[in-house]
Structure 1
């Protein structure tokens, strides 16, 4: 397994992607002095005997309640236990681990007052594959992702459950089996662990990385659909896109040209096709998918910044021994980024489904009705297109912006919230829907190209057809369609289609 060195505040997007895909994080040793100095600053602040929010006071609306020194340890334990109030299905382990690494990177910047031993436990849990069971629902995206992060902190003190090798164990038992002792929280540590945007950010990053893979897959299926319909390649001429100047559009058009380069099917369009213009779903791919790429890159910039930031409260400044209360826990940037990703996922699926619908319509595609050699006796791709339409419609409903919503909480102390948590959490479901939509297009486009034999497509697209045909044969007569869709969708979701060619991604 690949190791990734986490340099707090300076982690590139590629490293967050690697962590999500399974890489093991190792904290940069340069962070350790900052962590120790931040913890020492908390002790110095406490020694002044002044009330400091989150260190020797109550929380939220109860901030005016002063807590005695003898109860500071109990105060931190209580906030973790009381705030671990999430519901719903557990976070998928890859996203929960990403959240843990985001929290590790945030706490290790020397502004949270966390002790070295606490950081060491979090890092060791990651190394040993101990992932807290964290319910997905219960955060409104301010004051931080309190409920889900509290479940993380609870596992560290031996409360709740932990996933170990796919099994759910009681947290204290899982820690003991790994040779670890439950944490006893010091001043500020409970609050530092449960405050922040790491749940929302982890889910948004996961959605972003899935969207990137699906975007790349959609360029391949979209190019294959152009081939199946014997569409024109004129709309991808670079001169057209250079005049509009959008970077994503220019790169997308170039990617589509490269995917179709050398196609005999493509060449045949020049001599035996009277059509002058193709439907928008074919010829406007650079404009639509280019806009999607630009949007995803904007979201990526926001999330990379957020992932490298510190978002708990209050923040510790050792140089002046101050604890400053602010609002970095408000996840509005993440909410906006998640909404952008949702729009992108929705639009990729929308134009893909239109291509499938075009291919099954003989009036538009010039192919046999519903892509079957014997229409009437066979229904062919009739209902797979309906399934794609259903999934696209579902994604449209899910794409409504979460960031425009707010609901007051904590007795109106937290009177405006971001809704970033469920705005980000919906993205994986949307990505699953989109993978199936693209899988259906993949099947339909490959079937359409089969009718053009012996003419072949480009080297890359023929490799894509071969990849599919290795698992799914050409549809001659109706058969059980569900396994075909599952196989094609898996090739999309696993990135095997995206890997067929050099395509633009978030790093560009």
Structure 2
């Protein structure tokens, strides 16, 4: 299995992929720096030091920030400027980001700095790697970023811990940042010119949240196909809707893939029916699974590709080009590319939950479920069965509709109107992550209902793939016909859906 091989993730030699981010963030794989990236960082810093010696006027190096970009800062105040920048910008609000998101943020910031266009000293980057490897995780409040100039406020909370300030988690305990460093055998850093700005001017918070969310959305889309296949079977669905003839003449890649998945999952099923056997056609929530799930899959693939570009980009300002003898103030910190795709991710995954909830309703509704017991209990009246499980799914779907309103269409001027258009990309990413969490629970409820319905139909009649799905459910969730407390099952199934080893096994067994 994937986790059995605790490989080290090397930063700076090849592009980081989503799997790399997940392994470091969630599974705490170790990190190292490529030698080639170290050389780039050293050359860039040497160029910065030459600029300082020549007393050139360079934004963020010998000037203030934002509206103060025209204010010259003499050399002796440059170090103080960097520390003041971190302290003044650490204005985060709200609950802390999860430790896995914060670890992803550190990894992505290290990766961006390793391109050698930031002018930061190698030892500062190495200290960030050491934080990852020793488990020092800064406490970063989730609110306070406009998404341009990058994620200034949250990244400042990361930088505070490097200075021995702020707060951090270490060995499961929240403590002062300096204490966490000391317990881990680390010393704080003393920032030099340009380094404060290099640490906080970038899109790594929104991108880290987005990367983990996108990874979860990819696995969600696979499980949504599984749950849809199981539901279609227990409702005696018409198999012809998934035949290739229909999908090859509307050749969206996602649509064709989902149709193939449903056919593979239900291969050998004794429950699926032929057109006209019980009915000519099914309701849209069954018949249109390839079209709906497929559109979401295509969207998620596009989002994935944009995230890979952003993860492996330099988003500082100013940018150092040592070989060209140039320092350029530009706008790579602007989060619009991520803001837009995070809003897209919200819509794409909300739709997976929407159609899943409609399938749940069909399974429990005695007017729609092809003679299954009402609310999937044989003792209706005395027992409520899965009636309120559908309520819970409907509640999450409704909440997702509110959360799916785009954040990227908003902008509020800041910094004395110098920064007069911002992305709200971090808000978009946080909303997308919440929608995906909700969607996992909706699909989990569908799987719970599908498993219960399969017990009534006879699990031995399931297709080859859905038998595997059913077996995974029954490893963790027993069949209990009487009313019982179900909410722990929702979280258990959701956790199963996110488990990386289970995802690998699914891919190997089912080719998902």
Q: Does 1:250 align with 2:256?
A: yes
Q: Map residues 316-331 of structure 1 onto 2, 5 A cutoff.
A: 316-331=320-335
Aligned to 2:112: 106
- Is 1:206 aligned to 2:212, yes or no? yes
Q: What residue in structure 2 maps to residue 334 of structure 1?
A: 338
Give the alignment's TM-score, normalised by structure 2.
Answer: 0.94
Q: Does 1:179 align with 2:168?
A: no
Partner of 1:300: 304
**Structure 1 residue corresponding to 2:436, chosen from 427, 431, 438:** 431
Distance 1:87 1:232, change over 3 A: same
Aligned partners of 1:9 and 1:309 also within 8 Å: no
Match of 2:506 in 1: 501
Alignment partner for residue 277 of structure 1, among 275, 281, 291?
A: 281
Equivalent in 132, 137, 150 of residue 131 of structure 1 = 137
Q: 1:13 is matched with which residue: 3, 6, 18? A: 18
Change (3 A) 1:15 1:473: closer
Structure 1's 9 and 152: CA in aligned 2 closer, same or farther, altered over 3 A?
Answer: farther
**Cα gap change, 1:54/1:419 in structure 2, threshold over 3 Å: closer, same or farther?**
same
What stretches of structure 1 of length at least 5 have no aligned partner? none
Decide which of 386, 394, 397 is 1:389's aligned counterpart.
Answer: 394
Verify the 8 A CA contact 2:18 2:211 in the aligned structure 1: no
CA distance in 1, matches of 2:434, 2:275: 44
Residues 449-484 of structure 1 deviation map (CA, whole Å, 9 limit, x = unaligned):
222227510233123223223333334232233334
1:501 counterpart SS class: helix
Query: After the TM superposition, which parts of structure 1 deviate over 6 Å for at least 4 consecutive aligned residues?
Result: none
Q: Indicate conservation of the 8 Å contact 2:239/2:274, yes or no.
A: no
CA contact (8 A) 1:196 1:329 kept: yes
TM-score by length of 1: 0.95
Residue 50 of structure 1, aligned match among 56, 61, 76? 56
Residues 46 and 308 from structure 1, CA distance in 2 versus in 1: closer, same or farther, beyond 3 angstroms?
A: same
Q: Mean Cα displacement is larger for which, 436-445 or 488-497?
A: 488-497
What secondary structure, in the 3-state scheme, does the structure 1 residue paired with 2:271 have? helix
The 10-residue stretch of structure 1 (22-31 or 51-60) with the greater mean CA deviation from structure 2? 22-31
Q: CA RMSD in A?
A: 2.1
Kindly tell me the number of residue pairs found equivalent between the two proteins: 505
What CA distance in whole angstroms lies between the structure 2 residues aligned with 1:109 and 1:272? 62
The C-alpha deviation readout for 1:98-150, integer Å capped at 9, x for no partner, is 11011101111110001111111111111111111111110010011000111
> Where does structure 2 lack aligned partners over 5 or more consecutive residues?
1-5
CA contact (8 A) 2:55 2:75 kept: no
Q: Distance in 2 between matches of 1:250 and 1:101?
A: 36
Which residue pairs with 2:487 in the alignment? 482
